[in-house]
């Protein structure tokens, strides 16, 4: 991610330019095209982590209020973080991630 988060950033995984803001999130931290992120926060929006590793989307889950979250795991330090889906996240990628998880735990035959 670029140092100036207000102007957006370039995705660490696919290289796409990512706008700083989207409906549904105050702290944009992942690419809406591939869902990858970078380990920059300790708490949402603080940009205080020194790790900077690429964070792979590993699962999605629904909070009790129905909000959909993407779980990311850092490829450098192994930290797992939950991040809000943004309004412009690619629905096909989100569904593929959910499908992959369902297959892995045997929810689909």
Tokens of 104: 């892995």
What is residue 106's predicted lDDT score, i.e. its pLDDT?
61
CA distance 9 to 1: 5
Specify the pTM: 0.79
Who has greater pLDDT, 56 or 101?
A: 56
* Alpha helix (H) residue ranges in 1-109: 91-104
pLDDT, position 105: 61
Which of the four pLDDT bands, split at 50, 70 and 90, describes residue 6? Answer: low
Residue 10 has pLDDT above 70, yes or no: yes
Cα dist. 103→13, 24, 27, 34 in Å? 24, 28, 31, 20
Measuring CA to CA, which residue among 32, 27, 26 is closest to residue 11?
32
Tell how far CA 39 is from the center of its chain: 10
What mean pLDDT is predicted for residues 73-92? 92
């Amino acid at each position: 991610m670029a140092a100036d988060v207000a102007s957006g950033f370039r995705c660490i995984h696919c290289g796409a330019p990512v706008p700083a803001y989207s409906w549904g999130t105050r702290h944009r931290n992942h690419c809406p095209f591939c869902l990858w992120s970078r380990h920059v926060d300790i708490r949402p929006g603080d940009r205080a982590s020194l790790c900077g590793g690429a964070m792979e989307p590993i699962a999605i889950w629904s909070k009790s209020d129905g909000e959909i979250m993407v779980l990311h795991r850092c490829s450098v330090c192994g930290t797992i973080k939950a991040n809000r889906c943004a309004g412009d996240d690619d629905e096909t990628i989100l569904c593929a991630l959910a499908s992959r998880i369902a297959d892995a735990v045997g929810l689909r035959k």
